[in-house]
Copies of this chain bind each other. A is one copy, B any other.
Amino acid sequence: MQESVSTAGASRRPRISDVRVTPIAFRDPPLLNVVGVHEPWALRSIIEVETEDGRIGLGESYGDLETLANLAAAQTRLVGLDPYDTNGLLSRVYESVTGIEFTGQKFPSAGDKALASAFGAFEVAFLDLQGQIAGLPLYQLLGGAVRERVAYSAYLFYKFGRHKDDPGYPADEWGEALDHPQIVEQTRKMIDAYGFGSIKLKAGVFEPDFEIESLRALRRAFPNHPLRIDPNGGWSVDTTRRLMPQFDGLLEYLEDPVNSLDEMGEVASFSTLPLATNMVTVAFGHIPKTVRLGAVQVILSDHHYWGGLRATQALAHYGRVFDMGISMHSNSHLGISLAAMTHVGMTIPNLAYACDTHYPWQVEEVVVGGRDVFKFEAGSLAPPPGPGLGVRLDRSALAALHRQYLDCGIRKRDDAKEMRKYKPDWSSVRPRF
């Protein structure tokens, strides 16, 4: 791959003049999952790609050191690119992350999640710039809307009432949720506030039979809301086999009961309901084996690690060809990610399920207008108005969140370490059950 391809007809357009990556930390509640509990601060990175004429395209990605190192390795190499040149972006990110020349012949078969994450972080910012230049909302640039709004789901967690160590901010408004009535109360509060029409329970925390009791309590309280459970690979194949009869008629889909693609293939052989994943099929290189095993019926897209918004559309294309439904995964995130998720969700015909979002669990923002930018109605969002992503960076908020990153001391998410503050003998071995 040449560094620069000059061709007839390539008019001189404003090029990228600067790329900034700012790590941030924001408040996060003590949410439980199979590996432990959320620390008091969630890390993200805010990506700014600036053009010679002063436009700024935004992206949001992970904030761990590995991601920051990959973004840092690529960022200076992007100066001089045209914001439309996502192929140039791909080759430069590929070469900076892997250290080998990009030929484009073949995707790395497994190890491309880090690469795709770094590419995707910048690609969203490039597309934001393209939308600004063209005066088009991103969903229009991406092919146009196939729906009026994008539906999200209520993403429930078992949780502690407060963090073990005082993080220097007040406890969250959600309270403790360690039993069925508390989970039902959490759900009611979230649905009252956001109007979500479907429910996902993060699981793998307690004995599966206890968690299924929570599901039954939710079914009684919300008889018309589709339910999902996600043990994050916390169960063995045998446990999943034993539990399977209880899911019939209860679940919309079963997400990541087991922890490997081979095991998902085993579960698929006896499963009576669709299997979803954001853990065992997380890169295009995994699709051939996924298809061969018939292991997955619902792919959870996530532009952060599938490689951006066009890659998310490509993944949906695979879903149509290989008869897999498309839904959307989420980590703790702020509004730049939420805007990007919503724009791409507007354009995917076969987005057949409400998307996951952690957004209700956050209280801080980094975009101008804060959390009021995102007005959920009946659990769904329209993209923020205006060209590109439709969000702008609140620089004082960015500075404050960056200050929190510097001060909090966390540099890599470690839910197991946090859990050992509560349970000193905790280990995040999987399968747990």
| A contacts, CB < 8 Å to B | 1-2, 5-11, 13, 82, 84-88, 90-91, 102-107, 133-137, 139-141, 143-149, 284-285, 287-288, 291, 310, 314, 317-318, 320-323, 346-347, 349-350, 352, 382-387, 390
Q: Whole-angstrom distance from the CB of A286 to the nearest CB of chain B?
A: 9
Whether B350 pairs with A86 at a CB distance below 8 angstroms is no
Given contacts A137-B10, A350-B104, contact A85 B288 (CB under 8 A): no
Q: Whole-angstrom distance from the CB of A38 to the nearest CB of chain B?
A: 33
10 pairs, CB–CB < 8 Å, chain A vs chain B? A1-B349, A5-B148, A6-B148, A8-B385, A9-B387, A10-B145, A87-B347, A91-B146, A103-B349, A106-B350
User: Of B88, B137, B321, which is within 8 A of A107 by CB?
Assistant: B321
Report the bound CA distance from A284 to B323 in whole Å: 12
Given contacts A91-B146, A285-B321, A320-B107, contact A140 B352 (CB under 8 A): no
Q: Which residues of B contact A13 (CB under 8 A)?
A: 135-136
* Chain B residue at minimum C-beta to C-beta distance from A134: B134
Report the bound CA distance from A211 to B143 in whole Å: 46
A interface majority secondary structure: loop
Q: Whole-angstrom distance from the CB of A291 to the nearest CB of chain B?
A: 7
Given contacts A291-B288, A350-B106, A383-B8, contact A88 B144 (CB under 8 A): yes
Given contacts A145-B87, A321-B284, A349-B87, contact A7 B291 (CB under 8 A): no
Given contacts A9-B386, A349-B103, contact A144 B85 (CB under 8 A): yes
Whether A146 pairs with B384 at a CB distance below 8 angstroms is no
Q: Which residues of B contact A137 (CB under 8 A)?
A: 7, 9-11
Total identical chains? 2
Report the bound CA distance from A318 to B346 in whole Å: 23
Whether A321 pairs with B385 at a CB distance below 8 angstroms is no
* Chain B residue at minimum C-beta to C-beta distance from A352: B105
Whether A382 pairs with B7 at a CB distance below 8 angstroms is yes
Task: Point out which of A103, A104, A140, A144 has the most chain B C-beta atoms below 10 A from its C-beta.
Answer: A144
Report the bound CA distance from A346 to B148 in whole Å: 35
Report the bound CA distance from A75 to B387 in whole Å: 29
Given contacts A9-B386, A105-B349, contact A140 B285 (CB under 8 A): no
Instruction: List 5 additional contacts besides A11-B387, A106-B350, A318-B318; criterion CB under 8 Å.
Output: A11-B137, A87-B349, A88-B144, A104-B349, A314-B317
Q: Which residues of B contact A103 (CB under 8 A)?
A: 349
Report the bound CA distance from A368 to B137 in whole Å: 34
Whether B347 pairs with A145 at a CB distance below 8 angstroms is no
* Chain B residue at minimum C-beta to C-beta distance from A104: B349
Q: Whole-angstrom distance from the CB of A288 to the nearest CB of chain B?
A: 6
Whether B9 pairs with A385 at a CB distance below 8 angstroms is yes
* Chain B residue at minimum C-beta to C-beta distance from A141: B84
Q: Which residues of B contact A133 (CB under 8 A)?
A: 134
Report the bound CA distance from A85 to B146 in whole Å: 9
Whether A144 pairs with B82 at a CB distance below 8 angstroms is yes
Whether A322 pairs with B8 at a CB distance below 8 angstroms is no
Whether B144 pairs with A8 at a CB distance below 8 angstroms is no
Q: Whole-angstrom distance from the CB of A149 to the nearest CB of chain B?
A: 8
Report the bound CA distance from A322 to B105 in whole Å: 11
Whether B321 pairs with A105 at a CB distance below 8 angstroms is no
Task: Point out which of A7, A9, A140, A310 has the most chain B C-beta atoms below 10 A from its C-beta.
Answer: A9
User: Of B86, B322, B352, B382, which is within 8 A of A143 by CB?
Assistant: B86
Whether B144 pairs with A86 at a CB distance below 8 angstroms is yes
Whether B383 pairs with A288 at a CB distance below 8 angstroms is no
Q: Whole-angstrom distance from the CB of A335 to the nearest CB of chain B?
A: 15
Task: Point out which of A2, A87, A346, A386 has the most chain B C-beta atoms below 10 A from its C-beta.
Answer: A87
Whether A7 pairs with B105 at a CB distance below 8 angstroms is no
Whether A7 pairs with B145 at a CB distance below 8 angstroms is yes
Q: Whole-angstrom distance from the CB of A94 to the nearest CB of chain B?
A: 10
Q: Which residues of B contact A6 (CB under 8 A)?
A: 148
* Chain B residue at minimum C-beta to C-beta distance from A103: B349
Report the bound CA distance from A9 to B132 in whole Å: 12
